[in-house]
Amino acid sequence: MPTLTTKDGTELFYKDWGTGQPIVFHHGWPLTADDWDAQMLFFLSQGYRVIAHDRRGHGRSSQTADGNEMDTYAADVAELAAHLDLKEAVHIGHSTGGGEVARYVARHGGAGRVAKAVLIGAVPPIMVRTEANPEGLPIEAFDGFRAALVANRAQFFLDVPAGPFYGFNRPGAQVSQGVIDNWWRQGMMGGAKAHFDCIKAFSETDFTEDLKAIDVPVLVLHGEDDQIVPIADSAFRSITLLKNGTLKTYPGLPHGMCTTHPDVINPDLLAFIQH
């Protein structure tokens, strides 16, 4: 399995398939590069080079005790982009991965490294409620995540996909046990300490200045029935901070819409990349 050893000795697992313009996929918490299967196969078939890594502490990468925060996540991506000599890449991030994309592009995306970016159901500008972000979620919500992870991570990692992540808790939802099981499988591959730390990273990191600093075109996609990252305090605010942003929302679609509705999302991603 291809891995990159970073400057601090962390092994990052990655996939790198195909040739052509590179598209780099950044997964959500607590998942892995496998969460992008439907997108990677699609874009590979369209003639692109597709790349996805397991964030440190997640999946097949080192189960790190340290560095489980956004500055290091972005620096890891910068090392990977340099290692693979990526030029004019499109970076696509879902949820926590959207925060990673925002920080990476803002801080490391110069010198022709990045052509465009996409934020899907993404956590920026900031999730937690603060004086500057009164519409955010209360810290108690994220404390609940931490408590559930510590108490019974395996059960928590069944409850999230079986319920709000894919909207399987909605009346009439077409529930896929395979999708639930695959979320659980990906989650349990990672390290509990990294997953615990990453809750703070995705909920309390403020990406406001990152979004303002990005010069390349950015597509913001969000499901209007996202129960994990509420649209009003994320996509609707991010689009006002971006210099060159385009917003598209999807009535009734959930947080995990790339998995539940790839037939809808993939063509929209392709149109943005080709435009």
- Asked whether residue 10 carries a pLDDT value surpassing 90, the answer given is yes
pLDDT tens-digit map of 57-115 = 999 999 999 999 999 999 999 999 999 999 999 999 999 999 999 999 999 998 899 99
pLDDT, tens digit, for every residue of 157-198?
999 999 999 999 999 999 999 999 999 999 999 999 999 999
Alpha-carbon span 48 to 57, nearest angstrom: 28
Per-residue pLDDT at 208 exceeds 90: yes
What global pTM score does this model have? 0.98
CA dist 240 and 114 (Å) reads 21
| pLDDT for the residue numbered 111 | 83
* pLDDT (tens digit per residue) in 20-36: 999 999 999 999 999 99
Q: Hey, what are 81's tokens?
A: 């982009």
User: Helix or strand or coil: residue 12?
Assistant: strand
3-state secondary structure 50-82: EEEECCCCCCCCCCCCCCCCHHHHHHHHHHHHH
User: Looking at residue 12, what is its pLDDT?
Assistant: 98
Cα distance between residue 270 and residue 58, in whole Å: 28
Q: For residue 14, what pLDDT is reported?
A: 98
**Token pair 């909605």: residue:** 170
The string of pLDDT tens digits covering residues 211-252 is 999 999 999 999 999 999 999 999 999 999 999 999 999 999
**What is residue 149's predicted lDDT score, i.e. its pLDDT?**
98
CB contact set of 82 (below 8 Å; sequence gap of 6+): none
Active site residues: 95, 226, 255
Alpha carbon distances (Å) from 267 to 5, 260, 263: 34, 14, 7
Measured between alpha carbons, how far is 255 from 184 in angstroms, rounded to an integer? 16
Instruction: Give the model confidence (pLDDT) of 36-49 as tens digits.
Output: 999 999 999 999 99
